[in-house]
Structure 1
Amino acid sequence: MLATLDDGSAIPIELIGAADLPDGGRLHLWRRGDDYSIRFGDNELMGNQVRHSEEALATLACSRLKDRHGQILIGGLGMGFTLGAALRSLPSTAAVTVAELVPEIVKWADGPLSHLFQDYLTDPRVTVEMADVHDVIARGKSAFDAILLDVDNGPDGLIHLANERLYCNWGLRAAHAALKPNGLLAIWSAYTDDDFVVRLKNAGFDVEEVSVAALVDGEDVIHTIWLASKQQ
């Protein structure tokens, strides 16, 4: 496959990796020159040129933790943008657990995407746990200062149907229970969802919604980040 540049030249679009999902779908890792894209069907889930909102997920969350930078849980490794931004925002005493469900994602981080990850995965603050982030949340009781979720295209199960457990009423209550007092649940989404905001509030969170501009496939879009603070 070839992609045409503005000057009329063409560079190949290469499929350099594929990963099976628990629900039977597949992720594909594509490369076009120096650009990389992780896609699910026609949906781009992550691209190295579109990182601002994923980084904002971490920077916005960490800025609201003030001096409580202890235990952080990140759902989804992706291309490492959220993890990298978290590490730049956190002190040396922090501990960051990344829950990743798909083994190939971790292999890509140590292979074709290693230039994006830099030294994130060897940082002594980081532990990668091969697990569904829902399960990590469910077994944690007042365990985390912050939970950062970027595991799907929004608060639904587009990529992995079981992700819907994270966003339903009892899933949000589990996240509330897994947070320490005044802890923060931060969620990335490609779209807004008023019903989801209501569910967050019903689960006991104070909710702040932040809109972040992004460029996806050449189009200006708005991504949404919810910052949900645990009420006491």
Structure 2
Amino acid sequence: MARFEELGTAIIPGEGTKLRLLRRNDEFSIRIAGSSGELMNSRLHGSEDALATLACEYLADNPAPRVLIGGLGMGFTLAAALQSLGETAEVTVAELVPEVETWNRGPLGEAAGFPLNDPRARVHHGDVVELIRSSPEAYDAILLDIDNGPEGLTRKENDWLYTTAGIAAAQAALKPDGVLAYWSAGQDAAFTERLKRAGLSVEAVTVRAHRPGKGARHVIWLAW
């Protein structure tokens, strides 16, 4: 079997944690240096796709939706959102690590079909938290695929997004009748309750990492 080769590394700003981009034939992997675990794999993106498709169902009647995605990753959520939305949509992706954008404009972009080349896609260089806090009633949908979900793995600052204050900030950045969508590696009953206490209607959808019936079970929270 072919071995993974390293294509690049990147340091998460403010953390010092190193990310590694690896490739084996047509398979890509992003990992944390010094860890045997894998953050994402180009063959296991069913739940990243679902984050976009489930949220975009709420925008079906919107002629020109504005969507914010927190975290570019391998580009699959962005690609799925663009495929689900019309030609007048605008999708902004907030990405903290500059090299991740570079990877997606290079060889890694092949995996998701180079969604950054779509004229409807824009990249915000920086923390999605800053963008949420500075954008009142700006978005019809906010999709957050940050870290591992409510329990941060790579960056403790990410945990704030899942607190009561973080949920309130995301609500304030939504237009009336907007929808929030959160990706997570697993269930978290406490987070579900925090969303409900914020006055939101909540649906927690279990999806598979690979395709229906295959791969690990991940969770998408939809809140409106």
**How high is the TM-score relative to the length of structure 1?**
0.89
Structure 1 or 2: more strand by fraction: 1
- Pick aligned residue for 2:107 from 100, 107, 112: 112
Secondary structure, counterpart of 1:137 in structure 2? helix
In structure 2, the residue matched to 1:150 is: 145
Segment of structure 1 superposing worse, 74-83 or 113-122: 113-122
2:128 to 123, 129, 133: 133
2:60 aligned partner: 66
- Residues 176 and 204 in structure 1, CA contact (< 8 A), matched pair in contact too: no
Q: Please say which of residues 127-136 and 36-45 is displaced more in the overlay.
A: 36-45
Matched, 1:79 2:74: yes
**Which residue of 21, 26, 37 corresponds with 1:29?**
21
Segment drifting more, 144-153 vs 68-77: 68-77
Rounded to whole Å, the distance in 2 between the matches of 1:44 and 1:67 is: 38
Q: Is the 8 A contact 1:190 1:222 kept in 2?
A: yes
**TM-score, normalised to structure 2's length?**
0.93
Cα distance, 1:114 vs. partner?
A: 2.4
Secondary structure class of the residue paired with 1:11: coil
Determine if the alignment matches structure 1 residue 56 to structure 2 residue 50. yes
Count of aligned pairs between the two proteins: 218
Going from structure 1 to structure 2, the CA distance change for 1:76 and 1:38 (only over 3 Å counts) comes to same
Residue in 2 that maps onto 1:162: 157
Identity of matched residues, %: 52
Corresponding letter in the other structure for 1:54? E
Of the two, which has the highest radius of gyration? 1
Q: Distance in 1 between matches of 2:18 and 2:60?
A: 39
Tell me the residue number matched to 1:19: 10
Runs of 5+ in structure 1 lacking a partner? 1-9
Out of 94-103 and 160-169, give the one that drifted further.
Answer: 160-169
Q: Which has the higher contact order (CA 8 A, sep 6+)?
A: 2
Q: 2:197: which partner in 1?
A: 202
Deviations 1:63-90 (A, max 9, x none): 1222125110000111110000000000
- The CA deviation string for residues 79-109 of structure 1, in whole angstroms up to 9 with x for no partner, is 1100000000001111110000000101101
Indicate how the Cα distance of structure 1 residues 114 and 214 shifts in structure 2: closer, same or farther if over 3 A, else same: closer
Superimposed CA distance per residue, residues 133-192 of structure 1 (whole angstroms, 9 cap, x where no aligned partner): 011101111110000011211113211111112111101100011101111000111100
Aligned equivalents of 2:90, 2:182: Cα separation in 1: 19
Q: CA deviation at 1:18?
A: 1.1
* Structure 2, unpaired ranges of 5+: none
Cα distance in 2 for residues equivalent to 1:60 and 1:86: 9
Quick one: which amino acid aligns to residue 212 of structure 1? V
